[in-house]
Structure 1
Amino acid sequence: MSCNILAIESSCDETSAAVISDGKILNNIVATQSVHEKYGGVVPELASRAHQQHLIPVVAEALKSSGLDKSSLSAVAFTRGPGLMGALLVGGSFAKAFAYALDLPLIEVNHMEAHVLAHFIDTPSPAFPFICLTVSGGHTQLVLVKSHLDMELLGETSDDAVGEAFDKIAKILGLPYPGGPHLDKLAANGNPEAFTFPISDMKGLAFSFSGIKTAVLYFLKDNIKDDPEFIAHHLEDICASVQYALIRMLMQKLVRASRELGIREVAIAGGVSANSGLRTALKEAAKNQSWNVYLPRLEYCTDNAAMVAMAAHYKYQAGQFCGLDISPLAKMKIGNHGKK
């Protein structure tokens, strides 16, 4: 009998549903929330309301396009955390009600582990053990992946996530929301050595990105005094120089982790893994470090339910289910399972 799982993702501002059948993703339906654009960032309360509006249509489309009836489902999975509490509550509550109504097993999924397991949607996939750099608007982590369900956090940011640094610096530069992709696009035509920004190097495998945001802010203020149009005149070079510094901070820790652990299987995951500069840097490092590198398809970089479905597939095989009394965890950590 086939194993068919409906998965729901609602951790931030993407409402998504996907269906997986015997480990094969059948679809990946995503509704993006445009309501946040005029605020220049995600507004949690508005995100929760938008999830309420989008969730039923997204789930209905996922079931319809999969060719499966809800009576054919084997389980329901949802993102438990980390994420925005209100957004997690919407997705989790729907999943619980759906599972209860159909008397189906319920599977809770760690959002960051799901990003890592997106690498197993397509082939080739990494061999165990491998190191995964998970980078997004809310997280920057180095993860040792020992198996599909056994992961160890090696290091993470002590303050801001790299995606947050990209977006906030882009906002300072006057770029549209979300700013990270716009900064990346402009950086492609700029000189990464035009300006120098500080490269933080925390002890061990920890990251820090708060300093570069402050440095960029004061750099711009100082130069605008002499040239009010400084940003407009040097926008591409500023973007390229900022991106160069941020990527260097990521890569120096990734290289360090690889050398310390003696692991050459390396992957990236999360929204910032779509950044073209980071992808190029990773490919170059693969040659210099003799790595086997794995890059997820762009549609599986940003928040999506397909990655949640893939994680749920392995948890279903292992019999890892949860009860209806499970609660969301806004600050859920890698390896944090089964706690109410």
Structure 2
Amino acid sequence: MSPALSTVDVVVVGAGQGGLSAAHFLDRAGLVPGRGYVVLDADDAPGGAWRHRWPGLTMARVNGVHDLPGYPLGAVAPSTPAREVVPAYFAEYERRLGDPVRRPAAVREVRPAGARLLVDSAAGAFAARAVINATGTWTRPFWPSYPGRDSFTGRQLHTADYRGPQEFTGQHVVVVGGGISAVQHLEELAGAGVGTTWVTRREPVYREDFDVQARREAVEVVARRVAAGEPPGSVVSATGLVLTPRVAALRDQGVLKRHPLFERVVPDGVRWADGSGQRADAILWATGFRPALDHLRPLRLREPGGGILVDGTRAVREPRLHLVGYGPSASTVGAGRAAREAVRAVLTGR
């Protein structure tokens, strides 16, 4: 083999919740970082997607950060920005694992190479017996297509680009999306005196409580889509909005006054089918994300319905590949459990 090609048992792609959990279980199984396994991460520092969240997303407002296996996060001040707390937590976790992550090491592609999979990355090429992919969704924001969108003369941005309400002082912002991110953007913007209009595809569904049974039902909706070979959608889209005291207050204040989807975007705002319109300086697309899997294209994993069939975590069309954080495991707790399952399958061959 070429000297530039390293041979390892397992390559883990991504150093977020799922990737670091996989590294923990590989380490516990006795695999040595650098020889038995390697973790490749595209970012230049620990923290995964949490590094890029907006400053106003404090620990009191996140949906939850599940503990990484073997090392709990512990108590943190609710007012601390998540983009500070979680990266620091991940960095300490990596240190305890012996710093197995190579970065910046964006993976360009994964392709078959005889008995192994060849992983081509910015940190070199690796021939692996198995690949655990844990790349999440943050790097693939979804921008829906609407008539006239290119004609808008104001600013258009996605949740991935949002940095806080200070950028919109004295403006009016149309926020598109029915999830918790949209609600949090509306809260921040309205609290800073920014005019807002909330637009969603469907009427919001508010839940009084999101108990264990509701969580299971939401995950099952996504699992059925994946089992049918369809794109998974998101677990969040199946949950509705939990009617916390904060959300209830925003609804009572009129901040969460929902408007149906507009018919088209016009140069100075949006317009509905009845001819009414809303002037806007900016459109904030809180429209979610898609799995970041472009580097897996050479493996030809897609089904006719556009999704990837998996058996547990194993990709049906390429059994040497395991997907962590895809479909039903797309949550911090789900990714950790899927990582355990993936490592067990890699080590046992089942």
TM-score range, shorter chain: under 0.3
- TM-score, with normalisation over the residues of structure 2? 0.25
* Higher Rg of the two aligned structures: 2
- TM-score, with normalisation over the residues of structure 1? 0.26
- The structure with the greater share of residues assigned to helix is 1
- The structure with the greater share of residues assigned to strand is 2
